[in-house]
Homo-oligomer: A and B are copies of this chain.
Amino acid sequence: MSRIIRFVHPRFFAPEAQTSGDLVTLPLEEAEHLTRVLRLGTGAAVRVFNGSGDEFESVVEAASKDAVQVRLGHPRAPAPEALLQVTLAQAVLKGDKMDDVIRDAVMIGAAAIRPVLTARTESSAAIIEKSRRQDRWERIAISAAKQCGRAVVPPILEPVTFEDLIDFLLHKWLSGPSIMLVEPGASKAAVPFSELDVEPPNAVTTVIGPEGGWTREEVEAAAVVCRLVTMGRRTLRADAMGLIAISAAFSRWKEF
């Protein structure tokens, strides 16, 4: 079998990386990844991105077990951001399914992820806070950005209740049109995705439900502020819907 040799320099996240020539300390997790997982040390050529869109060719200047400093070199162009800014408003899923959704959404190019607490979400703001899930989601977003080549780490916004999300959408605090994915037959107001405008919006919010689906009340409340759409007539898993919806939107509006 063939061997795969990769010459691409490994990428690390350092929010303080701003200007070529600066000496920057990596966050602890990134330092551990560099020294313990990849076993790199002083002199190693790496790339450093700041999560806000900037990336630099860099060199490790000092590396101990838990502290790594890198010298930022020339700026370089990371993987471009999508022109269509998708916010994924995702009902919090069980266990590590939500981790997978966040990882996939960052990879494909979502601009932001908004966890939502719905009637059938088996979690609460208190549980999320106690279990530090928000921290975990942010680490997953960083990790996914490292792998997919983005220099932007999309924000994992504060979880909101479904009612607050509808309020947000009603007051247009989120930019662009909103679409909510519903099962075939969930509402007479629902249309196939192909019936949406062909003209590309600048931004879109896609609202995805939990494993148990939406309640009738939620669908009715959303119909006032969202387009209700279906995607085919098979039953799709909740943890796959985000990736499917963003893929469909990127295809329809020529991001792909």
Residues of chain A whose beta carbon lies under 8 Å from any beta carbon of chain B: 1-2, 4, 79-80, 82, 104, 107-109, 119-122, 124, 147-150, 192-194, 212, 215, 230-237, 240, 243-244, 247-252, 254-256
Is there an interface contact between A232 and B255, defined as CB atoms closer than 8 Å? yes
Return the 5 tightest CB-CB contacts between A and B, nearest first. A247-B247, A248-B251, A251-B251, A4-B212, A193-B256
A194 to chain B, nearest CB (A): 4
Q: Given the complex, which residues of B lie within 8 Å of A192, measured CB to CB?
A: 254, 256
Contact at A252–B252, with CB atoms within 8 Å? yes
A149-B233, A231-B247 are known; give 18 further A-B pairs, CB within 8 A.
A1-B122, A79-B233, A79-B234, A79-B235, A104-B240, A107-B240, A108-B234, A108-B236, A109-B234, A147-B235, A147-B237, A150-B234, A194-B254, A240-B243, A244-B247, A247-B247, A248-B248, A252-B252
A148 surroundings in chain B (CB, below 8 A): 234-236
CB closest residue in chain B, given A106: B234
Q: Are B247 and A82 in contact (CB-based, < 8 A)? A: no
